[in-house]
Amino acid sequence: MAATMGPRQLVVLGDSGVLGWGDRDGGGWCQRLRMDWMQLPLAPVIYPLGVRGDGIERIAARWRHEWSCRGELRRQHPDGLLLSVGLNDTARIGRIDGRPQLEPDAFAFGVSQLLAEMRSVTNVFVLGLTPVDEHVMPFAECLWYSNKAIAATESALAEQCREANVPFYALHAEIQAQTDWLQWIEPDGIHLNTIGHSWIHNALQHWPPLLNWAGLSPLNTPTPISS
């Protein structure tokens, strides 16, 4: 890719996780990473573009406009895009065995098409899905989330990333491997709190594909491990 003038840009597209909902201290993992990179010479500029409730279909409808209008300089477009979406697509509507927001096959097809479009114009990175507290379902009195459905959806997301040769960071099982992970979730059962956002933030500080693209070295802040 040809050299560009000025700093590179990383557009981060997703749902309420990208927005930082639940992190009242740091504004979410994306905001925390943005603030870190602002302190580093020549680090890419981060544009957090999260919308609550978004799924793969809404991201597909808005991504190109969001990405194309943030080049900062004439004829320049962001050469990095981090995608974090899919949790909302797993919810079942109305009852625990209701229809999903999006059928698994439709989700996989949508991801495949989306990644192909994105990769044709920029470097793409994808985050996996976070777990939920099933004991407090339904969310908003009508949406049923389950970790079984989330795991299957993350697996489909990972497979599409492998086929597209896109770096993927799995989150679901890794977070659940922490003994106190349920304490990382807001009382609503689906949004991470400050602890959860901080964990993802620290994990991204050590993710080689993203850091190599950004021209950065891993920061000396260890990813917290539950005791």
Residue 201: which H helix or E strand, with range?
Answer: helix 194-204
Least confident of 46-60, 70-84, 136-150, 173-187: 70-84
216: closest CA among 8, 67, 14, 5? 8
Percent of the chain beyond pLDDT 90? 83
CA angle 88, 99, 131 (to 5 degrees): 35
Query: Quick one: pLDDT band at residue 70, thresholds 50, 70, 90?
Result: confident
pTM over 0.75: yes
152 pLDDT above the threshold of 60: yes
Say if 225 falls within a structural domain.
no
Per-residue pLDDT at 219: 60
pLDDT band at 74 (very low <50, low <70, confident <90, very high): low
Q: What does the alpha-carbon distance between residue 171 and residue 127 come to, in Å, rounded to a whole number?
A: 7
- Which SS3 state, helix, strand or coil, does residue 198 take? helix
Average pLDDT over residues 120-146: 96
Is residue 142 included in any domain, yes or no?
yes
In a domain, 178, yes or no: yes
CA dist., res. 74 & res. 58, Å (int): 27
The total of structural domains in the chain comes to: 1
Q: Is residue 21 part of a domain?
A: yes
Q: State the number of CA atoms in the 13 A half-sphere of 135 facing the CB.
A: 5
Beta strand 80-84 with 9-14: parallel, antiparallel or unpaired?
parallel
Supply the DSSP string of 98-132, one letter for each residue: S-BSS-HHHHHHHHHHHHHHHHTTSEEEEE-----
Instruction: Read off the tokens for 9.
Output: 């840009």
| pLDDT at position 118 over 70 | yes
196 part of a folded domain: yes
Please answer whether residues 20 and 28 qualify as being in contact, where contact means their C-beta atoms are separated by less than 8 angstroms. yes
Residue-wise pLDDT for 191-220, tens only, equals 999 999 999 999 999 999 999 999 997 765
Q: Closest by alpha carbon to 111, among 54, 172, 164, 170?
A: 164
Residues 6+ positions from 37 with CB-CB distance below 8 Å? 43, 44, 45, 46, 214, 216
List C-alpha distances in Å: 120 to 64, 77, 81, 153, 208: 12, 13, 12, 24, 22
Asked if residue 152 is part of any domain, the answer here is: yes
Per DSSP, 139 falls in state: B
The fraction of the chain above a pLDDT of 70, given in percent, is 92
Which residue in 45, 51, 87 sits closest to 196, CA to CA? 87
Per-residue pLDDT at 71: 75
Per-residue pLDDT reduced to its tens digit, 5-22: 667 899 999 999 999 999
Write down the pLDDT at residue 223.
46
What is the pLDDT, as a whole number, of residue 191? 97
Whether residue 202 is contained in a domain is answered as yes
- What are the counts of helices (DSSP H) followed by strands (DSSP E) for the chain? 8, 7
Residue 222 lies in a domain: no
The boundaries of the domain holding residue 137 are 15-214
CA 25 to chain CA mean position, Å: 19
CATH number at residue 50: 3.40.50.1110
Average pLDDT along the chain? 91
Average pLDDT for 52-67: 95
